Amino acid sequence: MKNQWDDTIAQTFASDPLAMRVYTSQLLGREPDLVLHGGGNTSVKVTVPNFFGDLEEVLYVKGSGWDLATIESAGFAPVRLEVLKRLAEREHLSDSEMVTQQRAAMLNPHAPTPSVEAILHAIIPFAYVDHTHADAVVTITNSPNGEARIRELYGDRILVIPYVMPGFILARKIWEITHNLNWDNYDGMILMHHGIFTFADKARDAYDQMIHLVTQAETYLTDQGVSTPATAPATDPNWITLATIRKTISQVQGKPMLAQFNQTAEAVGFSRLTNVNEIATRGPITPDHVIRTKPIPVILGTDPETDIHTYAEQYRNYFDRHTNGSLTCLDPAPRWAVWSGYGTLTFDRSIKAAQITTDIVDHTIRAIQAGETLGGWTALPENDLFDMEYWELEQAKLGKAKAEPEFQGKIALVTGAASGIGRACAEYLRSLGAVVIGLDLNPAIVEQMNKPDFVGIQGDVTEPHILNHAVTEAVRRFGGLDILVSNAGIFPSSQLIEDLSADIWKQSLAVNLTSHQQLLQACIPILKQGIDPAIVIIATRNVLAPGPGAAAYSVAKAGLTQLARIAALELAPFGIRVNMVHPDCVYDTSIWSEEVLSSRAARYGLTVDAYKTRNLLKTEITSHEVAIMVAAMAGKTFAKTIGAQVPLDGGSDRVI
């Protein structure tokens, strides 16, 4: 474990204990072998003036919802130290009441809720307290004779605490054990199956001691012959099977879920271990992880759907075994899976949450294999994991869930997404919670859509292998496909039929018609495994009211509309809705160059300004307004509608 302390940087915080606390907290948080997303907590005790100018001892402790890797001063909750110490003296206190009293004791009511381990930090009589879930330390505790191994490794300088549920019970237990203890006799404290604490009156000393103790644990594992995790080369699965897995998970959960597929060499190697079914289902590294991972993963074999439903049934039985009768059962869907032979999967409502679980799983599979070397991976008993998963503080959150965007957990593919209508659709769907794959010929798409939930792919829609690649990426990255916005198109220069270039005719048919048919062909097998799947075809007002000089464009779009109508007939039995929007007067798109506008206006004997507002409402339609209509067609507004053709043109007397 490398010590990241930098004297030059640290010196700038020397006169500010809280700023120093932020610095060393970030050092700890940026080391994933110490702290994973949101895990661990740190604190500092300072004396500060209150509102009236009186000096008070305050514990600045990490606030709920903050990550040590990125925490700032605002992420620490200032709590009156004396109140926390008095709370520790109480024999009984529910965790809900503990949270209430901690918030009531804050100097700043707008600060985040203090860590549930604030009382524990308060009773440790040093200015700086660091707590991590160091992989190496917890791996040793999760082995046969783990406590004996810890005592052998660290001797009498470490205080060893048997596992106790985090929260008030843990704080009270440690208060009882240490009430008359001389803390100066100890270099740190290890909570079995949970983590490690270090403490000192100087930030550097606490940090250095954490790095030193964890390094000792890492060296111990090496000396015990713990080998590197198994690795194996990846083999692509049947992508329809992955889409089916994600659909089944979503059905069991009751909401659309994303599936993040991990094909790293370590994930694949773990999935191919002969005893993976047995060792992967013993439990997590630390019970804190069950909030994200549930107690165990699902093992997916040759019949994933059955495996998932069996897991759900077993989860309900697990709940029934441990509930006190007043608890609300969580959804029974797994949060991660070992897909035998292929790697691991994680499931959640957002890609960010799925990535967090993926990181936890990566560390878990390494720790499991290390634990096997030490004599067998030994996680906490099932009842302890249940108590953590159904902690009263977690149950209290169930009734406070925030309203989610309409397309949260859904996956969309938009073609022609670099500009105009396509870009507006991609951005708007994302704003409503969807993850989006965008495809465009313009290379700029890669940088425009360069986020974990917003992925741009450069390619020509007239090339079937490009279309297949885009669909595969939707499944590989997110688990499937629910929404297809078939938008890519070109607007050829105006030519009368007798003057029409054969190349322009062919190009228009290729882009405006054939590419859409090929895209449907690539998407339909995956859409059949989608969640409330929908296809929205971007056609044109020209279908209903063509104009002279636009034969190449209008004929291709008319063919596209007919294609969409037939698709609606064919796909209705699979629950796939197909609808069309016919925009017009959308002049903030790349196809409406000054040249094209001038040509079309001249064709009608109008000025450009008059041409742009030639509809009944004398208005222009924006790309964003088309995107709003597309989202309505893809969502619940059009849930009972299929085969519709909706004009979005400001009103055309020729159409009406």
553 in catalytic set:
yes
Of 141, 275, 303, the residue nearest 214 (C-alpha): 141
CB-based contact 540:557 (threshold 8 Å): yes
The residue with tokens 């959308």 is 586
The one-character DSSP state at 345 is E
Rounded Cα–Cα distance for residues 444 and 459 (Å): 11
Rounded Cα–Cα distance for residues 647 and 346 (Å): 41
CATH of the domain at 514: 3.40.50.720
Name 439's bridge partners.
Answer: 415, 457
> What does the pLDDT read at residue 471?
98
Q: What percent of the chain has pLDDT over 70?
A: 100
What does residue 198 show for φ and ψ, rounded to 5 degrees?
Answer: -130, 160
Mean pLDDT, the chain, whole residue set: 95
> What does the pLDDT read at residue 634?
98
Mean pLDDT of 524-545: 96
pLDDT at residue 599 above 90?
Answer: no
Give the pLDDT band of residue 507 (cuts 50, 70, 90): very high
Domain limits for position 286 = 259-392
From 34-43, 142-151, 366-375, 507-516, the region with the lowest mean pLDDT: 34-43
Indicate the residue among 223, 248, 276 that finishes a domain. 223
Sign, Cα dihedral of 181, 187, 193, 194: positive
State the helix-helix crossing angle for 146-154 and 203-223, rounded to 10 degrees.
Answer: 120
Considering the domain architecture, whether residues 278 and 388 belong to the same structural domain is answered as yes
Considering the domain architecture, whether residues 271 and 385 belong to the same structural domain is answered as yes
pLDDT at residue 612 above 90?
Answer: no
- The helix/strand count (H/E) of the chain reads as 26, 19
Q: Is residue 168 part of a domain?
A: yes
Q: Is residue 90 part of a domain?
A: yes
From 32-46, 248-262, 352-366, 430-444, the region with the lowest mean pLDDT: 32-46
pLDDT at residue 631 above 90?
Answer: yes
Q: What percent of the chain has pLDDT over 90?
A: 88
Considering the domain architecture, whether residues 109 and 216 belong to the same structural domain is answered as yes
> What does the pLDDT read at residue 526?
98
> What does the pLDDT read at residue 315?
98
What digits encode the pLDDT tens for the residues 75-90? 999 999 999 999 999 9
pLDDT at residue 154 above 80?
Answer: yes
Mean pLDDT of 280-299: 94
What digits encode the pLDDT tens for the residues 515-532? 999 999 999 999 999 999
Considering the domain architecture, whether residues 566 and 535 belong to the same structural domain is answered as yes
> What does the pLDDT read at residue 51?
86
pLDDT at residue 467 above 90?
Answer: yes
CATH of the domain at 292: 3.40.225.10
Any idea what the Cα angle at residue 381 is, between residues 380 and 387, rounded to 5°?
Answer: 90
CB-based contact 609:566 (threshold 8 Å): no
CB-based contacts of 368, cutoff 8 Å, min separation 6: 270, 279, 280, 282, 377
CB-based contact 564:539 (threshold 8 Å): yes
Give the pLDDT band of residue 594 (cuts 50, 70, 90): confident
* pTM assigned to the model: 0.94
* Radius of gyration, CA atoms only, the chain: 30
> What does the pLDDT read at residue 627?
98
CB-based contact 537:522 (threshold 8 Å): no
Considering the domain architecture, whether residues 387 and 416 belong to the same structural domain is answered as no
Considering the domain architecture, whether residues 357 and 447 belong to the same structural domain is answered as no
Q: Is residue 231 part of a domain?
A: no
> What does the pLDDT read at residue 395?
84
pLDDT at residue 592 above 80?
Answer: no
Q: Is residue 550 part of a domain?
A: yes
> What does the pLDDT read at residue 323?
96
Considering the domain architecture, whether residues 388 and 424 belong to the same structural domain is answered as no
Name 106's bridge partners.
Answer: 79
Q: Which helix (H) or strand (E) holds 456?
A: strand 454-458
Q: Of residues 311, 315, 342, 553, which has the active-site annotation?
A: 553
What digits encode the pLDDT tens for the residues 176-186? 999 889 999 99
pLDDT at residue 367 above 90?
Answer: yes
Q: Is residue 602 part of a domain?
A: no
Considering the domain architecture, whether residues 97 and 210 belong to the same structural domain is answered as yes
From 257-271, 519-533, 544-558, the region with the lowest mean pLDDT: 544-558
Q: Is 47 helix (H, G, I), strand (E, B) or coil?
A: strand
Mean pLDDT of 119-125: 97
Cα distances (angstroms) measured from residue 37 to each of 3, 106, 357: 20, 25, 9
pLDDT at residue 399 above 80?
Answer: no
Of 98, 465, 447, the residue nearest 457 (C-alpha): 447
pLDDT at residue 590 above 80?
Answer: no
Return the exposure string of 182-209: e unless at least 16 CB atoms fall within 10 Å of the residue's CB, then b.
eeeebbbbbbbbbbbbbbbeebbbbbbb
CB-based contact 584:655 (threshold 8 Å): no
Considering the domain architecture, whether residues 440 and 554 belong to the same structural domain is answered as yes
Indicate the residue among 175, 204, 223 that finishes a domain. 223
pLDDT at residue 593 above 90?
Answer: no
pLDDT at residue 596 above 90?
Answer: no
What digits encode the pLDDT tens for the residues 205-261? 999 999 999 999 999 999 999 978 999 999 999 999 999 999 999 999 999 999 999
> What does the pLDDT read at residue 409?
98
Mean pLDDT of 603-610: 87
pLDDT at residue 604 above 90?
Answer: no
Mean pLDDT of 414-420: 96
Of 345, 346, 311, 354, the residue nearest 331 (C-alpha): 311
Q: Is residue 2 part of a domain?
A: no
Q: Is residue 654 part of a domain?
A: no
Q: What is the 3-state secondary structure of 238-295?
A: CHHHHHHHHHHHHHHHCCCCEEEEECCHHHHHHHCCCCHHHHCCCCCCCHHHHHHHCC
Considering the domain architecture, whether residues 215 and 288 belong to the same structural domain is answered as no
> What does the pLDDT read at residue 643?
97
Give the pLDDT band of residue 585 (cuts 50, 70, 90): confident
Q: Is residue 398 part of a domain?
A: no
From 173-182, 314-323, 513-522, the region with the lowest mean pLDDT: 173-182
CB-based contacts of 102, cutoff 8 Å, min separation 6: 77, 79, 83, 84, 87, 113, 114, 118, 119
CB-based contact 191:170 (threshold 8 Å): yes
> Could you give the number of structural domains in the chain?
3
Mean pLDDT of 436-443: 97
Considering the domain architecture, whether residues 45 and 105 belong to the same structural domain is answered as yes
Considering the domain architecture, whether residues 472 and 349 belong to the same structural domain is answered as no
pLDDT at residue 603 above 90?
Answer: no
